[in-house]
Chains A and B, each alone.
Chain A
């Protein structure tokens, strides 16, 4: 195929976003990666040619913003038509996964390295909907539904 397949990489700001970049930046050799995050203004100006789309900042504690966020994400999914979505968490990724369930898009959840004792709350929410759930802790892998293939640290 001459054109690279598109991958949408979604995360909330802070640690989730930093981790997402560490996981997805190396994928740019093989895929056209489009990043999606609230507060894209806080992300580094050194992104170069990276495409970073801004979305509403919402979390499980700001429920009223989840609906506009869902519409934004749906619009992005329809417009960008990615082959796959990768998310490290939290709410924006989980919502995108639920929407992608009705679209021909593979969904890959990479649970944050901060979750050492159990999969994150958003991870548990998407566990049965995602095409792939990856943990960064061997002890959390069940070898079947939750897999381990190394961690970023």
Chain B
């Protein structure tokens, strides 16, 4: 199963359409089923299962069970994919297509692409290329998210007021 999620803030019809098209191509060699969280998107998918929203448990269990997680370039999903040890492909929303307030998700692809277990796509072609090579996609090297250094620094600041 491939899980797709676009976040809670906006729809992302373009990504849902890409997935709806990809799932019936020959590139889908494993005949993977696609389940998508589409927010309030109005694209009528023909070949994939769509839900507007889902609760946290269901959402996380889909990420955990998926062979790959396809997501808008949101950092929350990158964190979840790392913790649940599923490779993630992120595709950026485009401001000029009205998909977000600005183009920060495009900037995001640059640093996100350097993280292990994270694959980036800014076009349909790039997305399909990753999906066609699904077996090559790797999970993050660790499921740990967080920084002891940062936590300790904050804790000491709260207790003592000193930096």
Interface residues of A (CB under 8 A from B): 5, 7, 13-19, 22-23, 25-27, 30-31, 39, 42-46, 61, 83-84, 86, 106, 108, 110, 112-117, 131-132, 134, 136, 147, 149-153
In the docked arrangement, what's the CA distance between A19 and B74, Å? 11
Q: What 3 pairs across the A-B complex have the smallest Cβ distances?
A: A15-B76, A44-B56, A150-B149
In the docked arrangement, what's the CA distance between A91 and B109, Å? 24
The answer to whether A108 and B145 have CB atoms under 8 Å apart is no
Picked from B8, B74, B107, B150, the residue with its CB within 8 Å of the CB of A152 is B150
How many residues from B make CB contacts under 8 Å with A?
Answer: 38
Measured CB to CB, the closest approach of chain B to A80, in angstroms, equals 15
Query: B98 interface residue, CB < 8 Å from A?
Result: no
The answer to whether A106 and B157 have CB atoms under 8 Å apart is yes
The answer to whether B154 and A153 have CB atoms under 8 Å apart is no
A-side contacts of B7, CB under 8 Å = 14
Question: Can you give 28 contacting A-B residue pairs, CB < 8 Å?
Answer: A14-B7, A14-B9, A14-B74, A15-B79, A16-B76, A17-B76, A18-B79, A22-B145, A23-B146, A26-B146, A27-B158, A31-B158, A42-B55, A44-B57, A45-B56, A61-B101, A86-B154, A106-B157, A106-B161, A110-B150, A112-B75, A114-B75, A114-B104, A116-B110, A134-B154, A149-B147, A150-B149, A152-B147
Known: A22-B79, A114-B75. A5 touches B158 (CB 8 A): yes
Query: B46 interface residue, CB < 8 Å from A?
Result: no
Picked from B76, B79, B155, B163, the residue with its CB within 8 Å of the CB of A30 is B155
Interface residues of B (CB under 8 A from A): 7-9, 53, 55-57, 60, 74-80, 82, 101, 104, 107-108, 110-111, 115, 145-151, 153-155, 157-159, 161, 163
In the docked arrangement, what's the CA distance between A115 and B148, Å? 21
Closest chain A residue to B111 by CB distance? Answer: A116
The answer to whether B107 and A116 have CB atoms under 8 Å apart is yes
In the docked arrangement, what's the CA distance between A108 and B161, Å? 11
The answer to whether A42 and B8 have CB atoms under 8 Å apart is yes
The answer to whether B155 and A23 have CB atoms under 8 Å apart is no
Picked from A26, A108, A152, the residue with its CB within 8 Å of the CB of B157 is A108
Closest chain B residue to A114 by CB distance? Answer: B75
B-side contacts of A46, CB under 8 Å = 56-57
